[in-house]
């Protein structure tokens, strides 16, 4: 049975109270089953609320959208792995395209974050993907492999704990989605570069009307969803999708 993960990145939406309302509205439609998981990445102040609400619900997990690689210190505005864990997070996004292109996060910084997350006994979700200019120049594979360099030197057991999210930048929040077969091909490349059993998600304008075709692809283990994950009705429809 293929592992199927539905991950929702709320970005800068929903504080604790609105997060509570969203989870309450979504919960009745969630039908947990073997191999299906729902992951939530709320803003840091809402992590504890979401984690508490999902504590006894099978297949659900909570993550943090960003971490610093240092354990503590004078890093105003940052969140350490230990603090995220204390709040209830067991997952962490690393290298999301907005972190890379808006905040200037580098591959070297991503590498340090991945190692900090692994050391903190959490699951890193490393985001990789090309811009439209890079895609049109035929650089998709080269860019993805460069982003994957953040994992260089990891032992096999460490690499097995990393989840990859392929998110073509040109498809994020634009309404444009990679064709299922194109997403599958890039994710095949990722799997070949890492491990055959690597867990790989697709992200980029995922909606209720395209999610089933995406998760049906053999190299796609699930989706990383942005805007549609902050609407209970759309999110419920997405997390109800099957890979059949």
80: its two tokens: 């350490």
Residue 86 designated active-site: no
Supply 199's token pair. 């867990």
Residue with tokens 């309450």: 24
Tokens found for residue 106: 């580098």
Task: From residue 200, give the alpha-carbon distance in Å to each of 6, 74, 207.
Answer: 11, 34, 18
First to last CA, the chain: 11
Q: Indicate which residue of 96, 105, 130, 147 is catalytic.
A: 96
Question: Could you say which of 98, 109, 130, 167 is catalytic?
Answer: 167
d(CA 145, CA 194): 10
CA distance 31 to 55: 16
Contact (CB, 8 A) for 39 and 16:
no
Q: Which helix (H) or strand (E) element contains residue 111?
A: helix 107-119
Say how many residues make up the chain: 244
Both structure tokens of 28:
């009745």
Q: Are 51 and 38 in contact (CB under 8 A)?
A: no
Tell me if residue 14 is catalytic: no
Residues that are catalytic = 96, 167
């Amino acid at each position: 049975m293929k592992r199927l993960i539905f991950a929702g990145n709320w970005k800068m939406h929903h504080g604790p109270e609105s997060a509570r309302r969203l989870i309450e509205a979504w919960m009745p439609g969630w039908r947990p089953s073997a191999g299906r998981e729902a992951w939530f990445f709320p803003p840091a102040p809402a992590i504890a609320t979401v984690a508490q609400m999902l504590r006894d619900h099978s297949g659900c997990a909570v993550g943090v959208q960003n971490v610093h690689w240092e354990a503590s210190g004078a890093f105003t505005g940052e969140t350490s792995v230990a603090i995220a864990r204390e709040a209830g997070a067991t997952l962490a996004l690393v290298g999301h395209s907005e972190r890379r292109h808006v905040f200037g996060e580098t591959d070297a910084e991503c590498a340090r974050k991945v190692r900090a997350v692994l050391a903190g006994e959490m699951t890193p979700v490393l985001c990789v993907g090309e811009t439209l200019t890079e895609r049109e120049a035929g650089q998709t594979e080269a860019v993805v492999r460069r982003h994957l360099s953040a994992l260089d030197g990891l032992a096999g057991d460490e690499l097995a704990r990393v989840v990859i999210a392929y998110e073509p930048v040109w498809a994020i929040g634009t309404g444009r989605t990679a064709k299922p077969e194109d997403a599958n091909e890039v994710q095949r490349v990722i799997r070949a570069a890492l491990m055959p059993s690597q867990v790989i998600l697709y992200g980029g304008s995922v909606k209720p009307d395209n999610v089933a075709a995406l998760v049906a692809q053999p190299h796609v283990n699930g989706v990383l969803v942005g805007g549609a994950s902050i609407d209970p009705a759309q999110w419920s429809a997405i997390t109800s999708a099957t890979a059949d």
